[in-house]
A and B are shown apart, each in its own frame.
Chain A
Amino acid sequence: MIRIKNLFKIYEMGEDKVYALDDLSLVIHQGEFTSIVGPSGSGKSTLMNIIGCLDTPTSGEYFLAGEEVSKLSDNRLSEIRNEKIGFVFQKFNLLPKLSALENVELPLVYLGVSAKERKRRAEEALNSVGLLSRMKHMPTQMSGGQQQRVAIARALVTDPQIILADEPTGNLDSKTGEEVLKILQELNKKGRTVILITHDSHVAKSANRTVEIMDGKIHEHEGAVK
Chain B
Amino acid sequence: MKFTQGIKMALSSIRSNKMRSILTMLGIIIGILSVIVLVGIGQGTTKNIQSQIEGLGTNLITVNIRSYRNKPITDDEITQLKSGGFIKEIAPIVSSSSTVKAGTKSESYSVEGSVPAYEEIRNVSIDTGRFISENDITNRYKVAVIGTDIADTIFGTRDVIGKTIQINRNNFTVIGLLKSAGSSSSGSNDEKVIIPISTAERLFKTTRISTFYIEAASSDNVTNAYNQLNTFLYQKFGSTDDYNVFNQTDLLSTVSTTTNTLTMMLGGIASISLLVGGIGIMNIMLVSVTERTREIGIRKAIGAKRRNILIQFLIESVVLSVLGGIIGILLGFLVANIVSKFTSIAVSISPTVVLLSFSFAMAVGIIFGMYPANKASKLKPIDALRYE
Contacts and interface: CB of A to CB of B under 8 A. Distances in A.
Contact of A52 (B16, B297, B301): B301
Interface string B206-221: 0000000000000000
B306 A75 contact: yes
Contacts, number: 63
Given A95-B295, A109-B1, A110-B1, A54 B303 contact: no
Interface footprint category on B: 20 to 34
Contact of A110 (B13, B295, B304): B304
Interface stretch (A81-89, A124-132, A177-185): A81-89
B19 interface: no
B203 interface: no
B298 A74 contact: no
Interface string B283-308: 00000000000110111111111111
Nearest to B377: A74
B301 A74 contact: no
Contacts of B301: 52, 54, 81, 87, 93
A126 B308 CA distance: 25
Interface string A67-90: 000000011001101110001010
Contacts of A106: 299, 302
Question: Which DSSP category, helix, strand, loop or mixed, fits chain A's interface?
Answer: helix
A158 interface: yes
Given A95-B298, A97-B13, A97-B16, A110 B305 contact: yes
A46 B258 CA distance: 70
B153 interface: no
A125 to B, nearest CB: 13
A107 B304 CA distance: 8
Nearest to A115: B5
Given A93-B385, A97-B13, A81 B302 contact: yes
Given A93-B298, A97-B13, A82 B1 contact: no
A83 B385 contact: no
A138 B238 CA distance: 93
B1 A78 contact: no
A112 interface: yes
Contacts of A59: none
A158 B381 contact: no
Interface in B1-46: 1-2, 5, 12-13, 16
Contacts of A109: 1, 5
Nearest to A96: B295
Contact of B303 (A55, A97, A111): A111
A54 B304 CA distance: 12
B385 A78 contact: no
Query: What are the 9 closest A-B residue pairs judged by CB atoms, nearest first?
Result: A82-B303, A110-B303, A78-B305, A107-B302, A54-B381, A54-B382, A93-B298, A55-B382, A110-B304
